[in-house]
Amino acid sequence: MSRPVFFFIILALISSYQCFAQPTARFVVYFDSDKSLIRKDAEESLLRLLHSTQPPAKVSRIEIAAHCDGRGSDQYNQELSLRRASAIEDYLRSNGLDAGIAVTKQPMGETVLLNADQTTTEQAMNRRAEIILHVSPAPLPVAAPAPAEEKESNAADIIPAPKEDSVIFNVFDPAKYDSIKVGDQLVVKNINFQPGRHVLIEWSMPNLRELLQVMKDHPALKIEIQGHICCLFTGADGPDLDLGTNNLSEERAKTVYRFLIENGIKKSRLSYRGFGSSQKLYPSERTERERSLNRRVEIKIISK
């Protein structure tokens, strides 16, 4: 059975050179049980990864850490993980990876399991290779020479203080319904799903019920439900482990859509759409907070 290629759970890797953190891009590839072959459904995603190594990007090194699930002996899994890492390198090289970009391989065997490794879903998550692209930092800009003989000005230079969080987004607040305008896009807070699935976590229900009540109180309101994910750097959507499809953000938006319909909201008032990782609030995702804010459900006001 074919498994998804890219998964939105991506391990954080911090690498530094002297005192400066080196920028990285991270991808995860998954394998079938006891296999090291790159599947057909992986090729498009790996080609996107290859595209990200082309100029003007300055990828200095690619690191491949390959893993297995917990079945099989330690020695066998160590050898299997090496074959998986080598298969990825071979695929990248045969499809045009620049010879000047070094590739390092780390066969991890079953030493770093992400979960209890008991169910088929958990085992599928552990059969993975983490691919880290190390990007050379851009050279520091050269300061321009000061203008000659410039007269001193009495006007003060006003430099705005740096903001702790410069990303601005609107949160859905039922108490402020009257101020909502057609075209507004509002983040529905605390809508959480099980990892890699479109199944809601129980604590999401109070916020969904608030949205449901607003829809019932305002029968003219029409919305588009929009799903977003984190942790991919190509703009692509993530895989849904339940369905084996590569449209996780759409399936999560559809889950909210179905909840509203099942609770009495007419289909004519609702639509849904998945944006994958193409509209991140934080493109760099430097912290877990930024990743969590990228994993979101938004509603767009169509009419009211």
Alpha carbon distance 250, 52 (integer Å): 25
In a domain, 63, yes or no: yes
Shared domain check, 256 and 204: yes
> Are residue 119 and residue 234 in the same domain, yes or no?
no
128 and 190 within one domain = no
- For residues 102, 107, 112 and 116, what is the CA-based torsion angle, rounded to 10 degrees? 130
Q: How far is CA 132 from CA 26, 29, 85, 218, 238, in A?
A: 5, 11, 12, 48, 18
pLDDT at residue number 149: 43
pLDDT at 103 over 50: yes
Residues 298 and 229 in one domain: yes
Structure confidence at residue 55 as a pLDDT band (50, 70, 90): confident
Q: Which residue has the tokens 């984190």?
A: 230
Domain boundary among the residues 90, 110, 135 is at: 135
Mean pLDDT of 180-189: 88
Whether residue 165 lies inside any domain: the answer is: no
Summarize pLDDT for 235-294 with one digit per residue, the tens.
888 888 778 888 999 999 999 999 999 999 999 999 999 999 899 888 887 776 777 778
* pLDDT at 68 > cutoff 80: yes
Q: Are residues 68 and 177 in the same domain?
A: no
When pLDDT is averaged across residues 137-141 and rounded to a whole number, the result is 48
CA distances to 3, 11, 275, 301 from 295, in Å: 22, 16, 11, 20
Give per-residue pLDDT as tens, 116-133: 888 888 888 888 888 878
Asked whether the predicted pLDDT for residue 214 surpasses 90, the reply is yes
pLDDT of residue 204: 80
Q: What is the pLDDT of residues 142-166, one digit of tens each?
A: 444 544 443 333 333 332 333 334 4
- Higher per-residue pLDDT: 88 or 202: 88
- Rounded Cα distance, 252 and 4, in Å: 16
The answer to whether position 144 is within a domain reads no
Query: Is residue 191 a contact partner of residue 300, using CB atoms and an 8 Å limit?
Result: no
**What is the pLDDT averaged over residues 64-80?**
93
Which segment of 29-33, 122-126, 152-156, 209-213 scores lowest on mean pLDDT?
152-156
Which one of 41-50, 56-65, 286-295 scores highest in mean pLDDT? 56-65
> Is residue 127 located within the same domain as residue 178?
no
- Whether 247 and 253 have beta carbons less than 8 Å apart is answered as no
Same domain, 175 and 61: no
Output the pLDDT for position 20: 32
Specify if 153 maps to a domain: no
Mean pLDDT calculated for residue range 99-107: 90
User: Is the residue at 11 inside a domain?
Assistant: no
Span 198-212, average pLDDT: 85
Residue 205, classified by CB atoms within 10 Å of its CB into exposed (0-12), middle (13-18) or buried (19+), is middle
Is residue 174 pLDDT above 90, yes or no?
no
For the chain, give the secondary structure using H, E and C: CCCCCCCCCCCCCCCEECCEECCEEEEEEECCCCCCCCCHHHHHHHHHHHHCCCCCCCEEEEEEEECCCCCCCHHHHHHHHHHHHHHHHHHHHHCCCCCCCEEEEEECCCCCCCCCCCCHHHHHHHCEEEEEEEECCCCCCCCCCCCCCCCCCCCCCCCCCCCCCCCCCEECCHHHHHHCCCCCEEEECCCCECCCCCCECHHHHHHHHHHHHHHHHCCCCEEEEEEECCCCCCCCCCCECCCCECCHHHHHHHHHHHHHHHCCCCHHHEEEEECCCCCCCCCCCCCHHHHHHHCEEEEEEEEC
Comparison of pLDDT for 124 and 167, the residue scoring more:
124
Give the CATH number, domain containing residue 72. 3.30.1330.60
208 vs 203, more confident:
208
Lowest mean per-residue pLDDT among 24-28, 31-35, 185-189, 215-219: 24-28
- pLDDT exceeds 80 at position 10: no
- Calculate mean pLDDT across residues 34-45: 83
Residue 190 lies in a domain: yes
pLDDT of 137 reads 53
pLDDT confidence of 9, banded at 50, 70, 90?
Answer: very low
Token pair of 183 as six digits: 């075209």
Question: According to the model, what pLDDT value does residue 120 have?
Answer: 87
The reply to whether 107 and 200 lie within a common domain is no
pLDDT at residue 299, as a whole number:
92
Q: Answer whether residue 73 is part of any domain.
A: yes
Name the token pair of 81: 């993980």
Q: Which residues of 262-300 are buried (b: 16+ CB within 10 A; e: fewer)?
A: eeebeeebbebebbbbeebbbeebeeeebbebbbbbbbb
Instruction: Give me the number of domains the chain comprises.
Output: 2
Same domain, 178 and 107: no
130 and 178 part of one domain: no
Assess if residue 6 is contained within a domain: no
| Mean pLDDT value across the chain | 78
Show Cβ contacts of residue 130 under 8 Å, excluding neighbours closer than 6 positions: 10, 11, 13, 26, 27, 28, 64, 65, 66, 67
Relative orientation angle of helices 205-217 and 248-262, to the nearest 10 degrees: 60
Residue 35: give the domain boundaries: 16-135
- Lowest model confidence (mean pLDDT) among 54-63, 84-93, 165-174, 266-275: 165-174
